[in-house]
Every structure is written in C-alpha cells, then in structure tokens.
Amino acid sequence: YEKDYSGHYSGTSGEEIAGDSAPVSDKVDDLSVLNSINTLVPGPSMYPLTFPPDGSATGWFPDAFRFVNVNLGGPYTSLVDQWITFERISNWQTKNTGLAKLNRPMELTTWINYGRYNKKRIKITPERVHQFAVNFWIWWSSLQPSWRAVGEDNRPLAAKEMKDDWKSLDHYGQNGWLSLVVCLRWWGEGLMRVQNETLRKEGIDDWLMAIEDMAIMLGGLISYKQML
C-alpha cells in the first residue's frame, strides 16, 4: 500500500544537507511529538547513554556513538545500548567487509560515500519517509540468515528457533550494524516531521516493529558470539 505524506509538511525536500553537527533538537521540527514514541513501548535504557570508556581507544567508535545517541525514545535507546554490547564483544574492531549492499537504502549509500557524520546530513522528509521505511524493510529482510523465512510482504517471519549461521548479520564496526542503527535514527526523525497524527502513529508503529525485530536478532547474534 502507499501513503502520501506530502500534504502534511512544508519544508525542504529530498535527503539534505551538509553538516550534521547540530543537536537533534535543531533537526526535528516539534520535539513534543517524541512523547508519542516514549509512551508507546517503554524501554529499560534511558537517554542519554553514557559513553563506554573502553570504546575510546578505537578510531571509529566515538563519532559513531555520538551520532546515534539521540533522543528517540526508550526502544531506540535500548537498541543502541544493545549495539554497544555487540561492538564490545567484537573488540571495537571494524570488519573488512560490511553488510550486503544489495537493496541498501540510497540515503545510506550517499551518507557513506560522503564520509559520514558532519560531511553529509541526511534528512528524511514526510514525502519520503514511507518509501524509506519500505526500502529499509526490504534491505533488512535481505540480510537475514538463510534459516530465517521471509513472508510474502518481504518482511521476516518470526524466528521460531535460532541456528548457528550468522554470517550475513555478523558485521561489526563502521560498516556493520552501525548502518542499520543510523537508518533507524533517520527514519525516526523523519516520522517526527509528519504532522498528521494518524499517519505518524502508523509510521511509528512500523518503526517500533523494526526496532523490536532487530533487537531480537541482535540479541541472538550476541548470545551466539558469547558462546564461541
């Protein structure tokens, strides 16, 4: 199905703009809408997360942590906290190969090609946010291990049991799960710009579903690596 967000926001279009050093409050048009996320699914982790001192020795992690440590509600913050655990047990290293590029959202490719962080600001507008969500789900589904089935809607089916083949998702460092978390940040911020409450609520529900599914799989991956 398709939704049209174009009538609910007037502003710049496309991904936008160079320079991402501004705080999240400068990027979201109405931060009061964040309350709708915080009350939907409470999470155990609270914003802001504390920087893990053992991650300071690596060259890539401090910038990555600052970029994803934004206030988008408990479920998002909990996933970021879980991601930190994954990077810690991976010794804060960066793998030579990253997550598969096939079906990757074009905004992520643009951001990486421009050098990440301050060099290219990605802004998902209301006109684009639904399609970004569709594209993210397609990419996420394509990254699933071979033992996990995908439904007719191109979304992963519930994993009844987890097996030992995690190669497609076991990617750490700046080319790994960071890219997935970054997409969640852009997606969440894009939803905050949708002024129609019904459309925003539907979008948030979908976003939270993605966070929950990612948290389940990341938890399984962490458990697998801790047993090695």
pLDDT at residue 188 greater than cutoff 90: yes
Handedness of CA 34, 109, 174, 27 (dihedral sign): negative
Q: Percent of the chain scored above 90 by pLDDT?
A: 72
Residues belonging to the chain: 228
pLDDT of the residue at 191: 98
Distance CA 181, CA 183 (A): 5
CA-CA distance, 98 to 46, in Å (whole number)?
29
What is the pLDDT at residue 44? 59
Angle at 120 between CA 114 and CA 123, to 5 degrees: 135
pLDDT at 126 (0 to 100): 97
Two tokens, residue 63: 């910038």
pLDDT tens figures, 3-37: 333 333 223 333 343 334 333 333 444 444 444 44
Predicted confidence (pLDDT) per residue in 142-183, tens digit: 999 999 999 988 899 998 899 999 999 999 999 999 999 999
pLDDT in tens, 112-139: 999 999 777 999 999 999 999 999 999 9
**Partners of 156 in the β-ladder:** 150
Token pair 């962490």: residue: 222
- d(Cα 97, Cα 170) in Å, to the nearest integer? 10
Q: What pLDDT was estimated at residue 214?
A: 98
In angstroms, rounded to a whole number, what is the distance separating the alpha carbons of residues 60 and 51?
Answer: 13
- Say how far apart CA 108 and CA 116 lie, in whole Å: 9
Tokens of 76: 């998002």
**What are the structural domain ranges in the chain?**
6-227
Q: How many CB atoms lie within 10 A of CB 223?
A: 10
Q: Cβ distance 78 to 43 under 8 Å?
A: yes
Residues with Cβ within 8 Å of 118's Cβ and at least 6 positions away in sequence, in order, are 19, 20, 21
Summary mean pLDDT of the chain: 85
